[in-house]
Structure 1
Amino acid sequence: MRANLFILFLIYAVSSFGQFRKSDRISISVKDAPLEAIFDSLSAQTDYFFSYNTDLLPKGSLYTISAENEPIDQFLSRLFIGTGLKYSFFKDQIILHYEAPQLVVKKKNFFTISGTVYDENGQPLNSANVFLDGTTIGVSSDIDGNYKLESIPPGFYNIVFSHVGYENAVYQLSEINGGARIQNHQMELDLGQLEEVEVISNRIRRTEDSWLAYYLAFKKELIGLTENADKCVIENPEALDFTYNRGANALRAYASEPLQIRNDALGYRITYFLESFRKENDGDLRFRGKIRFRNLAAMNGAEKREWKRNRKESYYGSFNHFKKSLLDGNLRKDGYRIYRLRDLEKFEMKKENELTEADILVFKGNHYELDFNNHLIVEYRRERESRSFLRNSSVVDVIYSEYITPNGILAKDPGNQISIIRLLRGSLRLDLSGEIMDKFGVTTFGYWSWERTADLVPINYDPKYDNL
C-alpha cells in the first residue's frame, strides 16, 4: 500500500490508458473492515497495487462486503458507492482520487397555512396553539386570532388547534403543489373531560402514595427506559390525574393541560397533548397524543454538537428512517433487512423469507401503499440493541426465546436491532414523503416500540439540515 503525492498529475494521463483485464476477478468476504485492509486483500489476489493519499479515505468507516469470482472493476464500483472515491489505472496501479458529489438542490413546493382562530362566541382567540403534529412547525395565534405556518414541505399532515379550556381540533391535509392554504377554526369549550375523570375516580381509593406510583408507571411508559429517558423531565406533572381499576388491573391517565417535556438528550422541548393512556395487566399498552417540538437553546457549542450527534443516533434505525429508506429504495444500502413472518409465536429470520421493497410497497400515483400479510420483521444492522432493552422489553421472550435458559435467564449479547410491523387494516397508505395517512392502521413491536418519546425526533427532521 502506498500513498502517492503526485496523484493529481497522473489522473488525466492515465484516464485514457488500458482497461482491466477480463481475467482479473476476485473473491473476498470481509466484515467491518477498513478500506486499507480491503485494498491489501485485493492486491494479494491480483497484480495491481493501490496508489492514493490516505487523507482521501473516509475516516473511521468500516465496510462489510463480499464477492465470488467478480470482476475487479465491478467490485470497486460497488465498494466506492457513497464514498466519493473514483479510480483510474495505469499499468499495474489503481490510482484513487476524490470527486466531491455535486449538491443537487431539489426545488420543493413549500406551502403556507394561515387563518384565524375564534372562540365559542365567534370572537378572535389569541394564544391558541396551532401546529403540525409531530413537527417543529407551529405558532400561537396573535391578539386578533391570526396565525401563519410557513415553509411547509409537501406532504400529509395533521394540523392541530389547541387552547386551555377548549377541545383540541385536528384537520387532515395533504399538499404536493405548494402555494397557500386557508384554515380557520372556531374552538369549542371542553365541558366533558373533568366530569369523566371525576366519575371514574369515585370508584377508586386515591392517596398521594398511589398517585406517585401511578405517575412513575406512566412516565416509564411514555418517556421510556433508554439512556435518553434519563435526561427527560416532565416539567408539569401536577397536570396529570390517574385512575386505577383493580378488577381489570387497568391504569388510565388524564392531563388537564399539555404536558411540557424537556429532553436534554436531544435538545427539544416537547409539548405533549395527551389524548388517551391505558395500560392493562396483560401487557396491552395504548396511548396517543399530539406532539409539538421546539428546539432548546444550547449553552455552548459542545452541547449543540452533542444534541446533533444524539439526534442522528435516534433517527437512524427509527421507523421514520425506515420509511424514508423504503421509499428511496435504499433498504439494504441503509443497513436494513426485511423478512416475512407468518406466525409471531414462531419467530425466525430465514434467508428464504427475506423480502425487497418491491414485495411490500406499491406506488399508487399520489401515494404509496405498504402491503404484506401477517407480520414483517425489520432488522437494522448498523446499531446494536441496548442491554436495557434485553433486560426490560416484554417482546424479548418472543424474539429471543431460543436464548432463554430453563431458569428464565436471557443468555444473549446485544445484536442487531429488530422490530416487527403489523398492519391492522389491510394495506397502509403513505404519502409521497412517507408519512402514514392512517395513524391507527399499524402497530409495531420490538425495538421501535421500546424507544418512546425520549428518542423521538420530529417527522420533518433531516440530519443534513439540522439547524439548532
Structure 2
Amino acid sequence: MKTTLALIFLLFGTISFSQTKISGIVRDIETKEPLPGASIFAPQTTNGGATDENGLFAFTLIQGQTQVIISYIGYESVIVPASSFTANDKPNVVYLSPAVNNLKEVVVRKITAKQREKYMEIFKREFIGMGKIAEKTKILNPEVLQFDMNKENTLLIVTADSPIQMINEKTGYLISYDLVYFESKVLPEEHNQKLTTYFGYPFFKDIVAEKKLDAKEVAKTRLKCYKGSTMHFIRSMYHSTMEADGFTVKKFIRELNPEYPSQDSINRMWERFRRKKGPIPHLPIKYKIVYEDAYCKEHQLVFERFGKKYFYFTDFLSILYRRAKEESKYVEYYHQIATDFQTSQLKLLEDSPVEIYANGNYADTERLASFGYMGWKKMGEMLPFDYLPETVVAK
C-alpha cells in the first residue's frame, strides 16, 4: 500500500488551533459513496477511531497533533493537515482513491525462504530494535512485508502491503504502523557501518486492560522507555527544563583526519588483502571530534516566534542523559565502555529551524537524525506522543 500526500478536500475556510474537535465524512472518490469503518488517527498517538456506518468521524486533536491519517482497506491512505479541517456546520469531506497495483512500478526479485528469514532478522533488528524491551515486540502479520536486496548485498529495501501490526506486552501497546519506506544500507566508506532510515505513521492502542497486564509493571517499562528518549529531550527543550530533567548538551563538529587515506587507497589495500598479498588494513579514525568548551542552554537552541517554538543548531549536538545507564546489549554490540549515563548525537539534515511541540513531537520529522543511544532505540521502545509520565509516577 502506498501512502500519498495528495488529497481532495471540500474546504469552507480554515482555522488554527491548539486543541479542537475535528469531524467529517470519508467517501470513495469515484462513486462518492461513504466508507464505513475507515481508520482515522493522529500519528504516533493513541488518539484515533473509525468512521461509522455513514462514513462519519469525530474526535479531538491536542497540541502537537498536526496531521491526521485516514486509511481504508483497498484504498490509498491520505495525510490531512489538521489545519485543513473547518469549524462550520458543513462537513469536511475526505475522498479516498482505490489502491493501485504497484507491482509494475517496482520489480521485486524472488527470494528463498532462507533469504527471507535473514532479511526479516535485519528488519527486526533495525526497525524494532535489539534492547530487552524491544525484543518482546512481535509482528503479527509478517506476510505483508516484502524484501528486496540489491545484487551487492549492500542495500535492503522493505515495503508493506498493509499496515504492520505489532504487539509488545511489556510496553502494553498494539501498534499499527503504516510504513512509507525502509532502507538499510552498508557504507563501505564508513568501515561498513550501517545506515538505516525509515518513515511511517504509527497508531498506538493501549492493551493493558484488554490483555489483563500488570499495570504497575507496564508503567515502569513505559517510564524506562521515556527517560532519555528523543521525546523526553524535545519536551525538556520546549519547557526549558533540560538541565533539571538530566540532560547535558554540547555542540561539536567533525573534522576530516588529514591522515585518512582516499577511497581509492582503501580499495587497493583491501584488494591486496583479498589476494593474500598484504596485511589486514588498519585505518586511522576518519573524523576528529572537536567539542565546544561551554555547555548549551535552552535559549541557545530554542527560540520563539509568533507564539511557536523552534529548535535550531549547526553541525552536531552531543547529548548526555545523566539519570540512566546505557543498556548492556548496546554497550556490547557497539564495543562501548560502560558508563553511568546515556550518550547520543543529533544532527539537522537541513540548515533551517524545526518547529517543536509541548508533547515532544516536532515538524518535518525526517529532518532530524539521531545517533548513539537515541538512534539505537527503535519502534519496539517507542511511546505515543500523548504519553504522560506524571500519571505513571502518581500511580
Q: What are the equivalent positions in structure 2 for 1:36-435 lying under 5 Å apart? A: 110-120=19-29, 121-150=31-60, 152-173=61-82, 183-197=92-106, 200-201=107-108, 204-247=109-152, 249-282=154-187, 283-298=194-209, 303-343=214-254, 345-347=287-289, 352-393=293-334, 410=335, 412-433=337-358, 434-435=360-361
Q: Percent identity?
A: 25
| Equivalent residue letter for 1:450 | W
Of 367, 381, 390, 1:441 maps to 367
8 A Cα contact 2:164 2:178, kept in partner: yes
Instruction: Quote how far apart the aligned CAs of 1:432 are.
Output: 4.4
What SS does the corresponding residue of 1:373 show, helix, strand or coil? coil
Instruction: Quote how far apart the aligned CAs of 1:110 are.
Output: 3.3
| Equivalent residue letter for 1:316 | K
8 A Cα contact 1:278 1:286, kept in partner: yes
8 A Cα contact 1:134 1:459, kept in partner: yes
Instruction: Quote how far apart the aligned CAs of 1:411 are.
Output: 6.5
What SS does the corresponding residue of 2:323 show, helix, strand or coil? strand
**Partners in 2 of 1:230 and 1:252 — Cα distance?**
22
Instruction: Quote how far apart the aligned CAs of 1:413 are.
Output: 2.0
| Equivalent residue letter for 1:207 | T
Structure 1 unaligned blocks of 5 or more: 1-107, 394-409
Judged with a 3 Å threshold, the aligned counterparts in structure 2 of structure 1 residues 146 and 371 are, in CA distance, closer, same or farther, namely same
Judged with a 3 Å threshold, the aligned counterparts in structure 2 of structure 1 residues 229 and 435 are, in CA distance, closer, same or farther, namely closer
| Equivalent residue letter for 2:352 | S
Judged with a 3 Å threshold, the aligned counterparts in structure 2 of structure 1 residues 118 and 302 are, in CA distance, closer, same or farther, namely closer
Judged with a 3 Å threshold, the aligned counterparts in structure 2 of structure 1 residues 212 and 411 are, in CA distance, closer, same or farther, namely closer
Judged with a 3 Å threshold, the aligned counterparts in structure 2 of structure 1 residues 179 and 431 are, in CA distance, closer, same or farther, namely farther
**Partners in 2 of 1:346 and 1:415 — Cα distance?**
24
| Equivalent residue letter for 2:35 | L
**Partners in 2 of 1:415 and 1:271 — Cα distance?**
35
Structure 2 unaligned blocks of 5 or more: 1-16, 188-193, 256-286
State the number of aligned residues.
Answer: 337
Judged with a 3 Å threshold, the aligned counterparts in structure 2 of structure 1 residues 441 and 180 are, in CA distance, closer, same or farther, namely farther
**Partners in 2 of 1:133 and 1:160 — Cα distance?**
7
Which structure's relative contact order is higher, taking Cα pairs within 8 Å and 6+ residues apart?
2
Judged with a 3 Å threshold, the aligned counterparts in structure 2 of structure 1 residues 181 and 432 are, in CA distance, closer, same or farther, namely farther
Instruction: Quote how far apart the aligned CAs of 1:418 are.
Output: 1.0
* Match in the other structure for 1:100: none
| Equivalent residue letter for 1:153 | I
8 A Cα contact 2:24 2:58, kept in partner: yes
Instruction: Quote how far apart the aligned CAs of 1:138 are.
Output: 0.6
8 A Cα contact 1:362 1:369, kept in partner: yes
Q: What are the equivalent positions in structure 2 for 1:452-467 lying under 5 Å apart? A: 452-465=378-391
8 A Cα contact 2:355 2:362, kept in partner: yes
What SS does the corresponding residue of 1:242 show, helix, strand or coil? strand
Kindly provide the CA deviation profile for residues 17-41 of structure 1, in whole angstroms up to 9, marking residues without a partner as x.
Answer: xxxxxxxxxxxxxxxxxxxxxxxxx
TM-score (norm 1): 0.67
8 A Cα contact 1:369 1:428, kept in partner: yes
Kindly provide the CA deviation profile for residues 303-346 of structure 1, in whole angstroms up to 9, marking residues without a partner as x.
Answer: 11100111111112111111111111111111000001111733
What SS does the corresponding residue of 1:125 show, helix, strand or coil? coil
What SS does the corresponding residue of 2:99 show, helix, strand or coil? coil
Judged with a 3 Å threshold, the aligned counterparts in structure 2 of structure 1 residues 139 and 249 are, in CA distance, closer, same or farther, namely same
8 A Cα contact 2:208 2:214, kept in partner: no
Of structures 1 and 2, the larger Rg is shown by 1
| Equivalent residue letter for 1:447 | Y
TM-score (norm 2): 0.79
